[in-house]
Amino acid sequence: MALSMMESNNRLIYNDAGQGPVQHQFSPYTDNGGSIVAIGGPGFAIIASDTRLTSGFAIYTREQGKLHSLTNAAVLGASGCWCDVLSLTRLIQARMKLYKHEHQKDMSAAALAQMLSTMLYGRRFFPYYVSNVIAGLDEEGNGVVYSYDPVGHCDKNMYHAGGSSGALLQPLLDSQIGLKNMAIKPTAPLTVEKALQITKDVFTSAAERDIKCGDGVIIRIITKDGIREETFKLRFD
């Protein structure tokens, strides 16, 4: 329409000459990407995120991890609308302090999982646009993974892939960790080394196909001895 002209009442109307203000529509949400993988096993849990923060085709920064250590036995991975991630994680930190002062102990992974669910549902009609995954240790010291939808539906799993590469990664975890569709299943229990290797492999795969995933991976390994961190490079184009 930019160059077309319309004639009415013998007056030329140029459609490209401002016939009124151009309206911007304000959207409170944006997708800043980010992918999370969490795996629980006997005596350990690992959770990993990529380190790329994006906006559309732009890369804001290549060094923004999306893991938030909550306690010595639980780490939250959160990605999606980054401003909601920031607000939600701060609120969680505050709620955890209140809990600690009231009960004289850290929140358990199960308590955190329930709290996050109610916090998300509290914003049911203006949701936090965040994909959350909590990895931690249960009362017996074994790995657990809790995954959420943006409005607080909570699911307890042994493994989960969330965020922008969730669809690419989840079937891989089904196959490699969940041992789905296998005629002969390995009997040995999952080890930290194996879980780490799979995590690195799946992120490398996702970085090939998901433009919002790349630059690097931060992995946190949760055991009864505390939380250990590893980093791993991804393609950064």
Q: Does 35 bind other proteins (CB under 8 A)?
A: no
* Of 175 and 191, CB closest to other proteins: 175
* Of 56 and 226, CB closest to other proteins: 56
Query: Whole-number minimum distance, CB 126 to other proteins, in Å?
Result: 7
Select the span of 40-48, 61-69, 111-119, 186-194 touching other proteins (CB under 8 A): 61-69
**Angle between helical axes of 82-103 and 109-122 (0-180°, round to 10):** 130
How far apart CA 176 and CA 58 sit, in angstroms, is 33
Q: Does 157 bind other proteins (CB under 8 A)?
A: no
Q: Does 55 bind other proteins (CB under 8 A)?
A: yes
Q: Does 89 bind other proteins (CB under 8 A)?
A: no
* Of 147 and 170, CB closest to other proteins: 170
Query: Whole-number minimum distance, CB 50 to other proteins, in Å?
Result: 14
Q: Does 131 bind other proteins (CB under 8 A)?
A: no
Task: Report the interface residues with other proteins, using CB under 8 A.
Answer: 18, 21-26, 28-30, 32, 53, 55, 58, 60-61, 63-64, 81-83, 86-87, 126, 165, 167-172, 174-175, 180-181, 201-202, 205-206, 208-209
